[in-house]
A and B are shown apart, each in its own frame.
Chain A
């Protein structure tokens, strides 16, 4: 079992470019989350998906869209990247719909110039 995988690991974009961050989990969990981590800010929830076919906004959703493609995959899209979106992005999938520990992907370090 790989747990949670994310691609890419690193990405540099120019302002206005778009990209999609991919996330997949092989643990058969219902819930999946996207976070961003900025220095001194901890992890902030961008979007989450409680189950296949549902998505909801988290604390910082502006500038992002998500797709829960199936039970395994949850992608995060930046339509028009801005320097303020420079961050490390983590995908996570918790046990027991958030009541249990979260399994995190390795992270994507994104720089927007």
Chain B
């Protein structure tokens, strides 16, 4: 079973629309870390946000906001007033404790967001 599920494979919106990217995770650990990364068409991976399991506060950064709900094991990402430059593949990731003290990341399959002008 996938540990990180991004059920939306592709989302297409028109500029200025709001869009929410869903992320559902599965873990038995009480301490874990959640992340979102952006991969624009140029291919590099860009870190967006990190949340630890003890911090359920929502966060807003400009047009971006994140909603973390432990009760539903979800960490959703909303872009307000989308822009063409937001077109990218977005990955949600979960880090849990592994062997040797490292936290081992698992990535979702990604959601491709296409913003049309």
Residues of A at under 8 Å CB distance from B?
31, 33, 35, 40-45, 48, 50-51, 54, 56, 58-59, 88, 90, 92, 94, 97-104, 106-107
Contacts and interface: CB of A to CB of B under 8 A. Distances in A.
Nearest to A95: B50
Q: Which size class do B's interface residues fall under?
A: 20 to 34
Given A40-B109, A41-B109, A45-B105, A98 B95 contact: yes
Interface of B: 6, 9, 33, 35, 37, 43-45, 47, 50, 52, 91, 95, 98-110
Given A48-B104, A99-B33, A104-B44, A42 B109 contact: yes
7 contacts: A43-B45, A50-B98, A90-B45, A99-B33, A99-B103, A101-B35, A102-B47
B107 to A, nearest CB: 4
A80 to B, nearest CB: 27
B113 to A, nearest CB: 15
Contact of B102 (A43, A97, A104): A97
B6 to A, nearest CB: 8
Contacts of B105: 33, 45, 94, 98, 102
B105 to A, nearest CB: 6
B102 A42 contact: no
A90 B45 CA distance: 9
Contact of A50 (B45, B102, B109): B102
B114 to A, nearest CB: 15
Please indicate which of the listed interface residues A41, A44, A97, A98 has the most CB atoms of chain B within 10 Å of its own CB.
Answer: A98
Nearest to A107: B43
Contacts of A41: 109
